[in-house]
Structures are given as C-alpha cells and as structure tokens.
Homo-oligomer: A and B are copies of this chain.
Amino acid sequence: MDIDHPEVNVLQAEFRALPDVLYQSLRESILNGSLPPGSELRQELIAKQFGVSRVPVREALSRLQAEGLIILRPRRGFAVTSLDLAEIIEVFELRMVLEQHALETATRLRTESDVLAVEALLTAMESLDPQAEGYLPAWLDVNREFHNRLIASARRQRLSTLTINLRDTIEPYVRIESYFTGQVDDAAAEHRALFAAFKDRDATRAGEISRDHCLGSMNRLVDSIRRHGLSPVMMTPKKSRRAR
C-alpha cells in the first residue's frame, strides 16, 4: 500500500497557483458584498494585499472578466460589474430556463444520498434562528448550498457551473436587498415543496417549482429595487468634471 498518494484531484486542488487563490478570494469578496458593484479594482493595491506582483492579479481579473463579474475599461482598469434593472431581469430569465431544466434532470437522476444531503441542508436552513446575530448572511449561504446541491444531483458539470455563475452574478444585489427587507424566508414553503417533488421523483413538478421559485425571487428583488433604487452603495459618486 502506497502512502504518498498524489491523486489527480489533489494535484488539481493542491497545486493550483496564485491566480486561482486570487480569483477565489476576489470572487468571494464580490459575492458577499465587500466589493459592491461599481468598485474599482486597483491592481497594485490587490497585489500588495496578497503579497504578490501584478501579473497573477491580472490573470485572476481576466477570469473574473470572462465570467462577467467585473468589466474592463481599457487603460482605466477593472471595476465590479454594475447591472441595471434590465440586465438583472435577463439573468433571472436565464436562471428560470436553466434551473427548470436542471431540476428536471436532477430529479430524474438523483440518488438516495442526494436526497439525504439536500434534506440535511434544508433542515439546517430551517433551523437557523432568525433572531441570531448574522442570520441573514448565514441563511443566504445555506440557501445557496441547498440549491447548488440540488442541481449537482443532475451530474451535469457545465449546467451546474452555468447556473451557479448566473446566481452568483446577482447575489450581491440579493444580499443588499435583504438588508432593506430584513426578510429572506418568504420561500420556506417553496423549498419544502421543491424538496418533496425532488424526493418523489416528480421531475416535471420539481422543474416548475424551481422556475416559479426563480420568478418569485426576481419579483421580490425587482420590487425592492423599484422601491429603494439600486442602493446608494452601488452608485459610484464619481465627479466627472469634463464630459469630453
């Protein structure tokens, strides 16, 4: 029996270079709101914070750009993507189509262990104390894992990546919304219904619930934006002196 086991996945996980670390860290900062939409990303600053040069920083930024999380203004640097209402709605449209398909496939192909894992996340989500400190971010995290685990049951790598990507794109806006409303658990019943259909292998119904769930999330967010605007923190109050 060999002791040292340079497994393939270990190699891929362990040996990932600096750009990957930077990519993950920056991505997380964007998703959890530390870098709100509109923030400018100074390469030198990021490089210093991580103790590296600007080269791997640029590589990580390139990836985030291809993913759509940040945009590049030539010669003017990167900035966190700031979506307007129409773009947010478009992302939700895509999520509706893809997640309906994903849940149909997942429900058809799921195993027993999928059901157990999803149920564990569901009960974890439900048993969070709404009064506890940091409830909202914790709920959002578990909610995210719940949906990811459901979709992962479809065993479709690209489908999973795409769907997660789209959800992450609007995650900052959902998080900001949650600070206004202070509520997130409007969809508790939908989650239970979705899990029931998933468990009962009712693929069509699971797909429909998932699509409607997306639609509900979209409506809540759009309403909130219509009421509160796109949140002051998103607007970069840059004084543009010259129109030029």
Interface, chain A (partner B; CB < 8 A) = 6, 11-12, 15-17, 19, 55, 58-59, 62-63, 65-68, 74-75, 87, 90-91, 93-94, 97-98, 101, 105, 156-159, 162, 244
Q: Is B90 a contact partner of A97 (Cβ separation < 8 A)?
A: no
- Kindly identify which residue among B65, B74, B156 contacts A63, using a CB–CB cutoff of 8 Å: B65
Contact of A157 among B59, B90, B158, B244 (CB under 8 A): B90
Contact between B65 and A15 (Cβ–Cβ < 8 Å)?
no
Asked if B74 and A16 sit within 8 Å, CB to CB, the answer is: yes
Q: Are B63 and A6 in contact (CB under 8 A)?
A: no
Give the number of times this chain occurs in the complex, counting copies: 2
In the complex with contacts A15-B74, A62-B62, A67-B66, A101-B90 CB distance below 8 A: no
* CB atoms of A74 and B12 under 8 A apart: yes
Residues of B within 8 Å of A66, CB to CB, are 62-63, 66-67
Given A55-B55, A93-B105; 16 other pairs, CB 8 A cutoff:
A11-B74, A12-B74, A15-B75, A17-B74, A62-B62, A62-B66, A63-B63, A63-B66, A87-B158, A90-B156, A90-B158, A93-B101, A94-B158, A94-B162, A97-B97, A97-B101
Q: In the bound complex, how far is the Cα of B101 from the Cα of A90, in angstroms?
A: 12
A-B contact pairs, 16 of them (CB 8 A): A6-B244, A15-B74, A16-B74, A58-B59, A59-B62, A62-B63, A63-B66, A66-B67, A68-B158, A87-B157, A90-B157, A93-B105, A94-B159, A94-B162, A98-B98, A162-B162
Alpha-carbon gap, A74 to B20, bound state (A) = 11
Task: Report the bound CA distance from A8 to B68 in whole Å.
Answer: 20
Q: With the chains together, A62 CA to B23 CA distance in Å?
A: 12
**Which single residue of chain B is at the shortest CB-CB distance from A58?**
B59
Q: Which residues of B contact A97 (CB under 8 A)?
A: 97-98, 101
The winner among A67, A156, A157 for most chain B CB atoms within 10 A is: A156
In the complex, which residues of chain B have a beta carbon less than 8 angstroms from the beta carbon of A75? 15
Residues of B within 8 A of A244 (CB): 6
Chain B nearest CB: distance from A127 CB in Å? 35
